[in-house]
Amino acid sequence: MLAPIHRVYVDGYYMDETEVTNEEFEKFVKATGYVTVAEQKPTKEEFPTANEEDLVTGSVVFTPTPSAVNLNNFLQWWRYEPGADWRHPEGPQSTIIGKEKYPVVHVVYEDAEAYAKWAGKRLPTEAEWEFVARGGKTGNLYAWGNDLKPKGKFQANIYQGHFPIKDGDTGEDGFKGIAPTKQYAPNPYGLYDIAGNVWEWVHDWYSVDYYKSLAESGKVTRNPQGPDAYYDPSDPSEIKRVHRGGSFLCTDQYCTRYMVGTRGKGEIRSVCKSRWF
């Protein structure tokens, strides 16, 4: 949670209305020849204790468990899949053909920055992301209001059912897994999928106490850029940036990051998904 509550001011800016799609990312790759981190073979310098045979290109893929598990170890439902990347989201036998309007996945922070620079854009700050996510409605729990299911209808692609077991997602919101963009109504500022579907990188370093320091200043902070350095006492050796918005795997059983005032964190070379402006 972004606690304690604090006030910020942001100047005007533009934001893409959807998450970056496979179609858009492919244009970037074709124009530049860019190779994502997931497509680069890991090195001994990065992973000095790894066996040489384990240093293969790939990425992590959600893998449902065969039965109920204790939710204290996320490694139970994530696996490293050789050959998984943005073109092959489930592994080398998978494809994005026919999924041009789906959000691009297996994108790390530096991949997101590279795309943004090519597109003449940049990643939003966390304050900018939250401002547009709220759509001018201060204090609401969700981008669409305070009711998770207004009139009994889901407003975002999140997880329903028993997490994370095989076939546990009931798809009550219309989708099991990632959805194409623009499948739900936009928020009041015209942004789609600001909650759920895929996580989104923002500019800020992750620091557990940054918002406490802003609140203690007693001032309205103008255009905050995030902390000067990362700080996660639970994992101090990892370099992390902030994730926002949650994903199709978020559920009240484990992760409610589809709520506007919540945040995630990710090691900068871990895979995530992004929206840019």
CB-based contacts of 133, cutoff 8 Å, min separation 6: 143, 187, 191, 194, 195, 244, 245, 260
Residues of the chain with pLDDT under 70: 1-3, 271-277
Q: 4: cis peptide before it, omega within 30°? A: yes
pLDDT of residue 276: 45
Phi/psi at 65 (5° precision): -85, 155
Residue type, 116: A
User: What tens digit of pLDDT does each residue of 52-86 get?
Assistant: 888 899 999 999 999 999 999 999 999 999 999 99
pLDDT on residue 135: 95
The DSSP code sequence of 121-165 is: --PPPHHHHHHHHHTT-TT-SBTTBS-SSGGG---SB---BSTTB
13-36 pLDDT tens trace: 999 999 999 999 999 999 999 999
Rounded CA gap, 89 and 106, in Å? 7
pLDDT at 275: 47
User: Residue 18, Cβ neighbours under 10 Å: how many?
Assistant: 18
Alpha carbons 258 and 272: distance in angstroms, whole number? 15
Position 271 scores a pLDDT of 61
| CB-based contact 193:273 (threshold 8 Å) | no
**57 vs 36: CA distance, rounded Å:** 10
Classify the C-alpha dihedral 38-88-248-25 as positive or negative.
positive
Distance CA 102, CA 22 (A): 6
Task: Let me know: does 141 contact 156? Beta carbons within 8 Å.
Answer: no
Show the tokens assigned to 55. Answer: 């240093």
